[in-house]
Structure 1
Amino acid sequence: MKNTIKLVSVLVVIIIVSVTSLITQHNKQSKTNDVAKEKSDQEKAEELAEKMKPKIEECLRKEDIHHFIKTITFKERVTINPMGYIVIRGYINDEPEKYEFSASLKYRTKEIGSMSYSAELGDRFENWDDFDPQVKEDYLNSLSKKEREQYLKDIGEKV
């Protein structure tokens, strides 16, 4: 009787250890599959971003009514935001601190959802014909002499 109880106890312990081991192994494999899926989503995002770069450049050049853009540089990192948009960032004329932009891409429709610009870059796209001349003059007066000269040069006006 004592031997039977010992044998049953040993078998129960072996079964518990085996089941625990199987559950642990399954959880590890499940996490590995999740990481692989994330990587594949990231790879898909990077592929779409690469295909959309010419369209982003086209949108930037369309906004550039003063022909300010000389170079467009895209940053390497492509992100997927919580809303599912693919976000690609870049900058203009080798000035990442001043002339930054970002584009949100829609994966399903393969189109640009929205574009945003740094304030400095947005100013270079401004069409002053849409404003009262005093608004432009007030803006120019808010700049230092050096900034004013650079701005006028950037939008193709005489200093």
Structure 2
Amino acid sequence: MRNTMKFSIIIVVVIISVTAFFVQDINQSLSDNVVQENSDQEKAEELAEKMKPKIEEDLHKMDIQNFIKSITFEKDVTINPMGDIVIDGYVNDEPVKYNFSVPLQYRSKKISSMSYSYELSIRFRDWEKYKDEPELKENFLKSLPKKEREQYLKDIGEKE
């Protein structure tokens, strides 16, 4: 009976020790994953900061009408499911009307593409390409309400 009791106590101690070891290992794994996620986010934010001047340069290249007065970047930098780092922003203090989104590729440290709101993209339109087809510009301008048309012409420098 005494041997059975000693054996039972030893089994219980071993089970508790093994369980404690596994719990500690699982906790360590979880904390390593959190550290990894934080470091990925920190790396994304560092790359975003380095790439902001390049993004500004690209926006100004697209802005043939000199429409852009200011560029603002959102604070949050995200990592999309494809692994791209995404920076969002807007121009001329109009976050809804003139916004853009830029995915960056971490490995190549390059801009993969840039998307703009419709309102911003039409400010980048080069009407000189359509000088042989003036009706295209005229039709576009006619499609805008009067107030928007006047603002558009002002934005692209054709009206004071």
Using structure 1 for the length normalisation, give the TM-score: 0.94
Q: Report the AA paired with residue 39 of structure 1.
A: N
Calculate percent identity across the aligned residue pairs.
60
Name the counterpart of 2:138: 137
Judge which range, 104-113 or 130-139, deviates more. 130-139
Name the counterpart of 2:30: 31
Distance, in Å, in 2 between the alignment partners of 1:136 and 1:69 is 21
Using structure 2 for the length normalisation, give the TM-score: 0.94
Name the counterpart of 1:100: 99
Name the counterpart of 1:69: 68
Task: Return 5+ residue gaps in structure 2 as ranges.
Answer: none
SS of 2:104's partner is: strand
**How big is each residue's C-alpha offset from its partner over 1:63-99, in whole Å with a ceiling of 9 and x where there is no partner?**
0010000000011111111111111111000000000
Distance, in Å, in 2 between the alignment partners of 1:50 and 1:11 is 58
CA RMSD in angstroms comes to 1.2
Alignment map for 1:11-50 (pairs within 5 Å): 11-50=10-49
Judge which range, 68-77 or 128-137, deviates more. 128-137
Report the count of equivalent residues.
158
Task: Return 5+ residue gaps in structure 1 as ranges.
Answer: none
SS of 2:72's partner is: strand
**How big is each residue's C-alpha offset from its partner over 1:100-146, in whole Å with a ceiling of 9 and x where there is no partner?**
01111121222211111011100100112223322222222221111
